[in-house]
Structure 1
Amino acid sequence: MAAKSAPDFEHSLQQLEGLVEQLEQGDLPIEDALKAFEQGVKLTRECQTILQQAEQKVQLLTEQDGEIRATDFHDDQE
């Protein structure tokens, strides 16, 4: 049996957006709305964890001589 892969940020965010849309419509039965809310909380926590891990990785990559140096991020894809 294959190991479960790590959550994908974009996929989790897309699912979360779909749940928010469903909840905003206001036509879900209360049980379904609660399940959607619970799933939304889970997805939010997954996204926060992924972002925190990415931030830590960036800090490690930008650390020089034991100090983290702030550097500007330039997106070369523009």
Structure 2
Amino acid sequence: MSRKSSVRQFEDNITELETIVAQLESNELSLEDALKAFEKGIKLSHDCQQVLTQAEQKVQILLEKNDGERLEPFDPEAN
């Protein structure tokens, strides 16, 4: 899969995840439909995580090639 298509797929998956969350939060789905939506959301979340992991690996490689720098874990509480 090309980088553009994986980015586009990532964006589409995020949009679909947002829709699923809104449906689940509305409490208008039957239990069966809610479970199906949840299952699909888990799959979409996993797919997004894979794209993010690949992007992080690419950033790490680029940093190491340029300055030998390493990524540091992000701590939102530190700011």
Shorter-chain TM range is 0.7 to 0.9
More strand per residue = 1
The residue number in structure 1 matching 2:69 is: 69
Matched to 2:57, the amino acid is Q
Partners of 1:63 and 1:10 in 2: CA distance: 28
Partners of 2:10 and 2:51 within 8 A in 1: yes
Deviation at 1:64, TM superposition (A): 3.4
Matched to 1:33, the amino acid is A
The residue number in structure 2 matching 1:37 is: 38
Deviation at 1:70, TM superposition (A): 4.5
The residue number in structure 2 matching 1:25 is: 26
Moved beyond 3 Å, runs of 4+: none
1:47 aligns with 2:48: yes
Partners of 1:19 and 1:36 within 8 A in 2: yes
1:15 aligns with 2:16: yes
Partners of 2:65 and 2:28 in 1: CA distance: 54
More helix per residue = 2
TM-score by length of 1: 0.74
* RMSD, matched Cα: 2.2
Residues matched between the structures, number: 66
Uncovered stretches (5+) of structure 1, i.e. residues with no partner: 72-78
Q: SS where residue 28 of structure 2 aligns?
A: coil
Partners of 2:10 and 2:48 within 8 A in 1: yes
TM-score by length of 2: 0.73
Uncovered stretches (5+) of structure 2, i.e. residues with no partner: 72-79
